[in-house]
Amino acid sequence: MHFPRSSGVLLHPTSLPGRFGVGDLGSEAHRFIDFLVQSGQQWWQVLPLGPTGYGDSPYACYSSLAGHPLLINLERLQERGLLDDGDFANVPEFHPDRADYDRAYDFKMPLLRKACEAFKAHASDSEKEAFQQFCEKKAFWLDDYALFMAIKSEQKSASWHTWEPKLAKRDPEALEQCRHRLSDEIFYQKYLQFEFFWQWADIKRHTNDRGISIIGDIPIYVAHDSADVWANPENFKLDPETGEPELMAGVPPDYFSETGQLWGNPVYDWDYLKQSNFKWWIQRFEAMLDLVNYIRIDHFRGFEAYWAVPHGEETAINGEWIKAPGKEFFEALRQDLGNLPILAEDLGTITPEVEELRDMFGFPGMKILHFAFGSDPGNPYLPFNYQTNCMVYTGTHDNNTTIGWYESLSEHEKTNLMDYVGCISSDGIHWDMIRLALSSVAALCVLPMQDLMGLGAEARMNVPSQAKGNWAWRYRPEMLNDDIRDRLSTLTRIFGRAPEHWQ
C-alpha cells in the first residue's frame, strides 16, 4: 500500500489529561485532535484499546475486540442525563502525571453501573433500538465476552482455566444456567461496550473529518485469561485437561532482555486456523477496522515463524522457532478486505524470510532511531539506509523517551551519535532526533508525545519484561502548548510532511 509522505503522533488515550484518574474519550481527546490538525499531522497512533487485566497492559486484555470501560468519559454520560451533578461531588484527588487504574476503577465503575441502570429505566425508543442493533452487530464476540466477564466477576476474577470444569470447558447446560442467573451482569457488560463504542465512534468521526487517520494496534497474541481463548480454545495450543498453554509465546534474547521475553500467551494452532480459512483472524481484522483506519501488527515476524517455549519454563531461552502460514493468511485476508491497511512491527530477530513476507504484501516496516547509533554505517536504523516504504520513530512505547535514552548512552554511543547529528542544538536532543526523523526518506514519521514535550525517563510508557508500574504516564493540560505546536508545525512543513493544503 502506498503512503504519502506524512507524520503523526503516538499517544495512547490513557495518557490524556482528565480528572478521573485515567485519560478518557472526553474533551481532552478532542483538544488533542485539534493539536494534530493545527500542527499539520495526519496520523494518530494508539495502543490496543481493550479492557486490561493484571499489570494494566494494553497487550494483555480480557478481549482482543472489546473496549476498555475506563476510557468511557463520565461527563458525556452526564450530558445525556445518565448521571447528575451529585455524582461528581467527591471526585478523588488523582495524580496529574500518572494513571491510577485501581483507584479510577473504584471511582468510575459504580458510576458506570448507575448509568446502566438509568439507561435501562429511561432510554428512549431510538436509544433502545441503537443498543439492540449494536448487540446484534457485535454478537459474534460480544455474547461470549459479556458472559465471560459476568462469570469472571462471580468467580472473583479467577482465571477461566481454574473455574469448575463445566464452566471452563463451556458445557452448554452450565453456560445456559449462567446466562439466566447472571442476566443483569451480562446486560451491564454489553452496556459498557455500547457506551465505549459510541464514544469512540464519535472520536473517530471527529478525527477522520479533520483529515487525521488513526493507526490501531493488533497484538499478534491474546491473553490466556481472555474471552478469546475461553470461547475459542480450538484456535490455541492448550493442554486439553488443564486449559493451560502447552506452548507459550515470547521472543529469544534480544536488545531488550538477555533471557528473552516470556509473555506466557498461548501460541496458535495454525493448522486448525488454516483449515477454517483463518475465519477467527479475519473477523478480528474486520472488527478492528470499525475502530481504526490502519492497523499496526505487533510482532509481525510471528506470522512467518514464532518462538514457542514449553509450559513450565521460567525464561524464554529454551524455545524454538516454528513456521507459521503467514503468506496463506495474508492472501486470505486480502481476498476478504482488498487492499490491506497494515503496518508491520518488524523489530527483533528479523530474517530474510520475514522481510520477504513483509515486502510481498507491501507492508511498511518500522525504523527506530534509538537503535541507530551503536554500531557501524551498515546499521539498518540509520536514516540513510532507509527505503521509502517504512515508518520511522524516535522511539516507541517500549523504548525510553529520547532524553531518557540519551542520558543512558555510553560515552562511545554519545560520540557516535554526535558524529551524525553534529552537536546538540539549543532546543535539546529530543528536537534534534525529531528533526532527524522528520527529514528522513521514510514515508511515515510517528513521534511519541513524550519526545515532543521533552520529557525524561520518568515519562517512559513501558519497560519490557517488567510486570508492574508500566502504562501509567499522563501529561498535564498545560503541557500541550503553542510552542510545541508551532515547532512541530514548522518542521512538518519544511520537511514536506504537511497536508497538501498546507503546501
Residues labelled as active-site residues = 298, 345, 398
E strand or H helix at 42, and its extent?
none
Task: Report the phi/psi class of residue 157: left, alpha or beta, with left for phi > 0 and alpha for psi in -120 to 50.
Answer: left
DSSP notation for 78-144: HHTTSS-GGGGTT-----SSB--HHHHHHHHHHHHHHHHHHHHHH--HHHHHHHHHHHHHTHHHHHH
Q: Cell match 457488560: residue? A: 189
CB 8 within 8 A of CB 43: yes
**Cα–Cα distance for residue pair 347/365, rounded to 1 Å:** 8
Pairwise CA distance, residues 253 & 227, whole Å: 30
**For residue 13, which of 104, 109, 82 has the smallest C-alpha distance?**
104
Cβ–Cβ under 8 Å, residues 415 and 474: no
DSSP run (H or E) holding 473: none
Three-class secondary structure of residue 436 per DSSP: helix
CA dist., res. 374 & res. 328, Å (int): 37
